Chains A and B, each alone.
Chain A
């Protein structure tokens, strides 16, 4: 479904060239949940931006459902670390924003927005503004918006990094539930190995910049997963340790 062929990205900062991504090839299947993990600032976000079509790769190509991504990829929903809710709109109007853009009537927008708002557990907050919500609630609102938009692929850039541990768990649960319901393909970037193993079907470990895939690990844990307890199983521990072993090399090298 998503195909990266020898993708590289180089940024120019004045005289200096920064290699963010180097020669990544990978294939992501439909309905797959893929976690990309690696040291901070290694070019993971660059990868997502390119899949979203926000900028083109310097070399190589990105194929989405058989077509080359040349402009913004409107089939994906993109959730960044900083939630991109419009601060002057209430939760309901934010969630309904994609419908408003496609010209859906106001009454229908409100009804459909309220449905997904309830679905992500934000009942009673529809009229609130983003700055009146907690971080977790804003993430829920973003998920609701993505749900209503009906994107077939969700790109998540460190979506829950700023949340505390308990909140993270409930967001993980929500994310897995929604992905299972909608059959979405999910690609998410994280630096939290626990999160990666808990959620993903496959974990890709990235090297330091320029990012390349150092290790690919399938996560054969049964679904639906219990996000709270899956981490205490032996299989989880083995996968976690194996990945950590490789990841530690990257972090270790970074320190040198």
Chain B
């Protein structure tokens, strides 16, 4: 009697029930179709290149593969991937921590949040990418300016979600805790933050791709390593095969990140709280 009830809980969660499993697998037939489509597209690309469209513009799969193999052999690809991954992860961490702190702080201080509202709205409306030159000035050409750009993209997303989550907390729960002699800190740590967690996680989840965007963009603007640098460099060398090769790597990296998020989310659902 108890077991099915406990099992039924994660399945009834409001967000898409597709766990990590269904994302990877799909039916066998569909996988075959998808692989076939990929091969057909590659063949068409190879065929079109140099015949229908100039090789200069679209390169071709063989050249792209050769470029990738070359980079893997001399090890340079891994240096670039590592730089991008590092900036993405660090930016994500810094931005999430900042966003959560800011969101909780403003969420529980109506005066400050009203005071800062116009400024935060203006900052949020600003395309964060435009801040990149500033970060280069402040943090230099190294990894720090990329972390800063990724962090700022993440920060606003996480902040807005956390803030909304904190504002959504049931006032009755807060009143109840206060009547039971909870201090202000206890109200925040034991009522407000736990009830805003699902909002925070939603913010964290959507901000993962933005961390990658921030890191890559930062590298494109001023850098000497990272995938963003590599795509920029290849482009400036009129090396379309190189550009396509880097795009492929970035796409793979994005897929891996999304996959990790799915796994984390699936794990969370085992214990995460459902609102009423």
Contacts and interface: CB of A to CB of B under 8 A. Distances in A.
Mutual binders A and B:
yes
Interface of A: 52, 54, 72-74, 76-78, 80, 82, 84, 86-88, 97-98, 100-102, 131-132, 149
B181 A102 contact: yes
Contact of A74 (B5, B179, B195): B179
Interface of B: 5, 170, 172-173, 175-183, 186, 190-191, 194-195, 197, 273-276
A101 B190 CA distance: 9
Nearest to A145: B180
A74 B275 contact: no
A84 to B, nearest CB: 4
Contacts of B182: 101
A77 B5 CA distance: 32
A82 B274 CA distance: 17
Contacts of A73: 179
Given A80-B172, A82-B172, A87 B179 contact: no
B4 to A, nearest CB: 12
Given A72-B175, A74-B179, 12 more contacts: A52-B175, A52-B179, A74-B178, A74-B181, A78-B175, A84-B173, A87-B195, A87-B275, A88-B197, A97-B180, A101-B183, A131-B276
A7 B173 CA distance: 26
A87 B176 contact: no
3 closest Cβ pairs, A-B complex: A88-B273, A84-B176, A98-B180
Contact of B274 (A74, A86, A87, A100): A87
A132 B5 contact: yes
A101 B274 contact: no
Contact of A98 (B5, B181, B195, B197): B181
A72 B261 CA distance: 42
A88 B189 CA distance: 13
A101 B176 contact: no
Nearest to A101: B182
30 contacts: A52-B175, A52-B179, A72-B178, A74-B180, A74-B181, A78-B175, A80-B172, A80-B176, A82-B172, A84-B172, A84-B175, A84-B176, A86-B173, A86-B190, A86-B195, A87-B195, A87-B274, A87-B276, A88-B195, A88-B197, A88-B273, A97-B190, A98-B180, A100-B190, A101-B182, A101-B183, A101-B186, A101-B190, A132-B5, A149-B180
